[in-house]
Amino acid sequence: MGRGDKRTKKGKIAIGSYGVSRNKKAIKAQLKRANSKPAPAVESVVVAEKPKVKRAPKKRETTAE
């Protein structure tokens, strides 16, 4: 009961055929259900961005020798 068996799902996949063990309609319906999950509802809330604070440049320390 494995890859060479025509009666199992694994065998149908290996051969590339569809049948009772691997029904094409059932597979398509399953994929459709998995892909059609509704997206979570997200409320669009506008958040005011804080204005960027302009900072004075750092003073460089000079070393006098």
DSSP label at residue 29:
H
Please report which confidence band the pLDDT of residue 49 belongs to, taking 50, 70 and 90 as the band edges. Answer: confident
**31 vs 47, residue with greater confidence:** 31
pLDDT in tens, 15-41: 888 888 888 898 899 888 888 877 666
Residue 50: count of CB within 10 angstroms of its CB? 6
Please report which confidence band the pLDDT of residue 65 belongs to, taking 50, 70 and 90 as the band edges. Answer: low
Cα separation, 22 vs 56, whole angstroms: 70
**15 vs 62, residue with greater confidence:** 15
The predicted structure's pLDDT at residue 64: 67
- Average pLDDT, rounded, for the chain: 81
